[in-house]
A and B are shown apart, each in its own frame.
Chain A
């Protein structure tokens, strides 16, 4: 991930299963400010597709989905109010 998109908040939802990580993401998203960058760590395979789909559908920016060591990281930028 590029330096300029350093997350404002990291949610470590590793070990939690669907729908846990996505719910954590939405909960934190609602508390975040426009422009905040939220990074979600998850080891649940459903989240890998569900979270990016939610980010796009909600009209926010999906910065990336990254495979990490034994988990993956999904990064969103809150672009909506």
Chain B
């Protein structure tokens, strides 16, 4: 059976979403399947058209300007494009959290097509249970 990585993305800032996207890519390069479960601020960033704004978590506030400038200069792709690319290359599935979607009245159609399905937490835990690695970012 193929090894699998389960990622739980809850944060809505680019540094954390990008970390998730990069680790997902690394997993693909290691022949792993990837399941990504997205909730809270993370899921808000997966709404259609929401992913364009680059912002950093509070940890990075003191160097935010410099980091954002460098990212723009070096044309670093957005985290959502990185996940798109990882999906093209390997078996990556992205799931929206049903609880948060209900809370915010988000339907699958409100979310970027990169989201494969809206699922409950128990389904994600079942996926994580069969994974080699599970990361909370």
Contacts and interface: CB of A to CB of B under 8 A. Distances in A.
Interface string A20-48: 10110011001000000000000000000
Contacts of A18: 22
A71 interface: no
A50 interface: yes
Contacts, number: 34
B135 interface: no
A27 B75 contact: no
Contacts of B118: none
B89 A30 contact: yes
- What bracket does the count of chain A residues touching chain B fall in? 10 to 19
Contacts of B30: 57
A17 interface: yes
Interface of B: 22, 25-26, 28-31, 74-77, 82, 85-86, 88-90
Interface of A: 15-20, 22-23, 26-27, 30, 50, 54, 57-58
24 contacts: A15-B74, A15-B75, A16-B77, A17-B76, A18-B22, A19-B22, A19-B25, A19-B26, A19-B29, A19-B82, A20-B77, A20-B85, A22-B25, A22-B29, A23-B25, A23-B28, A23-B29, A23-B85, A23-B89, A26-B29, A27-B85, A30-B89, A54-B29, A57-B30
